[in-house]
Amino acid sequence: MAPSFSQPRFTHAIATARPKSAARFEFWAPKIGRRLTLFTPLQVRFWTLLEGTPRVAAYCERPAYWGRDGGTLLADFWVKAGRREVCWIVTSDSQPSYAGPLNPTDDIEVRHIDARSLASRSVWIENWMRILPYLSANGRFVGDRLLKDIEQAARLAPTLGDIERDFQPHDIVLVRTAALMLLHQGRVKAPSLRERALDSRTVFRRVQT
């Protein structure tokens, strides 16, 4: 039976040994509220993309095995965006995007994403690699009032520098963290982060609901 809409289908990685000669990358994942371990730089970049995409509601690393050519392969990520669920395999080689169903009993697709596709999103990913440490280290210190006030100010499309100046005497690190939390939650947007690095000139605009 499929899980309810509010309950993620996969919540923790399948226990597996680290691949031989693989690195080990550990992170706090703000979107799912726990630590996760990854084994390749490409997995790290794809994870960063998931955290930086507001429409992604939930994900899980190494969620399930997929049967292939008489054997099995451990999918790298399960991702839920809206009502759609996809298992992704991150690969350094160019592969057809669609790989097949996860199993015959549900409608989860298995898809490939390769290094070239991730490279096309490199500016956005690099920006989120800079953003996520703010959320992990400082997010618990940011109050709802500050978030709401910055969201309200973002109706006028201020720059990050404007926000940091206008919200003094709040701690500037917490002000910046609050603006980045709103971006992470999809309550504000900053389209320029797809093209250039985050800095004081980055414009934040409230998302209309």
pTM (whole model) above 0.75? yes
Query: What does the longest C-alpha to C-alpha distance in the chain come to?
Result: 63
Among all chains, which residue has been given the structure tokens 């399930």? 64
| Alpha carbons 109 and 34: distance in angstroms, whole number | 25
| 15 vs 193: which has the higher pLDDT | 193
Strand partners, 148: none
| 18-76 confidence digits (pLDDT tens) | 888 889 999 999 999 999 999 999 999 999 999 999 999 999 999 999 987 778 899 99
For the stretch 107-151, pLDDT in tens is 899 999 999 999 999 999 999 999 999 999 999 999 999 999 999
What is d(CA 73, CA 145) in angstroms, rounded to the nearest whole number?
A: 46
**Which residues are bridge partners to 147 per DSSP?**
none
